[in-house]
Amino acid sequence: MRLTVFWHNMYEQFGEAYAQSLAKDYVIEGLGSRTVEGALADGVAAKEVWRAVCDAFDLPAAAR
């Protein structure tokens, strides 16, 4: 998954402003207790980060 697709998915699910805030501030246990931004900066694949977001927020299967 490309980062552009990742961010498109984030904006689609959460809206642009909330997606940015979530990525910066929300610590996700499935990402090793890191934020989305932290995980991406540490080199975690965008697809893996997206799956962790989906799990953390119980997004519907269609979003995954």
pLDDT in tens, 25-62: 999 999 999 999 999 999 999 999 999 999 999 998 88
pLDDT of residue 61: 87
- Please say whether the beta carbons of 59 and 13 come within 8 A: yes
Q: How far apart are CA 30 and CA 17, in angstroms?
A: 23
Residue 1 to residues 4, 8, 25, 45, 64, Cα–Cα distance (Å): 8, 11, 22, 8, 12
Alpha carbon distance 12, 43 (integer Å): 23
pLDDT band at 63 (very low <50, low <70, confident <90, very high): confident
Which residues are within 8 A (CB) of 29 and not within 5 positions of it... i.e. 6 or more apart? 56
User: Average of pLDDT values for 12-32?
Assistant: 97
